[in-house]
Structures are given as C-alpha cells and as structure tokens.
Amino acid sequence: MPPNAFTRSVGMRLIVVATAHLKARDLEQTLALGHRALDILRYVDSRRARDYVRRLATSLTPHRTLRAVDAFLARLRQEFAPAGLPALLP
C-alpha cells in the first residue's frame, strides 16, 4: 500500500513488523522499520498509532544502552512528545 493513500495503516503495519523483528532479536531490522514508521506516522493524529509506537518504544527500552536504540528513542521523544507521548516514552 502506498503510504500517502493509507498513511496510518502503512505506519502501523511497519511498527508491527518491527516488533516481530525485535522478538526475533533482529535489532537492525527493527530500527530500520521503526524509523520508516516514524517517518510516516509523525504527522498522523491517531491514538491507536501512538499506542503501537508506545509498545515498540517500551519493548526497546531494555536495549537502550545500544547507541542505535538510544538514538531511535531520542528521535521518538523529540518528534512524538508534542503529539502527546511524553509521559509514555522511556
């Protein structure tokens, strides 16, 4: 699906796939998909989409000592905090 036609669905699907990669301990793919999802979802005003992002962030928290994970979480805090996520981000 093209992201400009089904923005929320595409972004949420990327988050779900990123979470699956995280469960398979593939952090590189998790972060790549997570960044793509953030690119898409940063302009979407959806509680459900924010919940998906929140779950991924929470799942990544144990890995935040890794530079790439910390950078992803910092990006998430910077771009999503204005959208109502500040209290939920690690």
Residue 32 belongs to domain spanning: 7-88
Using the CB atoms, write b or e for 29-50: b if 16+ within 10 Å: ebbbbbbbbbebbeebeeeebb
- Structural domain includes residue 1: no
- Structural domain includes residue 84: yes
- Structural domain includes residue 61: yes
- Structural domain includes residue 2: no
- Structural domain includes residue 13: yes
Number of domains observed in the structure of the chain: 1
pLDDT tens-digit readout, 10-65: 999 999 999 999 999 999 999 999 999 999 998 888 889 989 999 999 999 999 99
**What's the whole-model pTM score?**
0.84
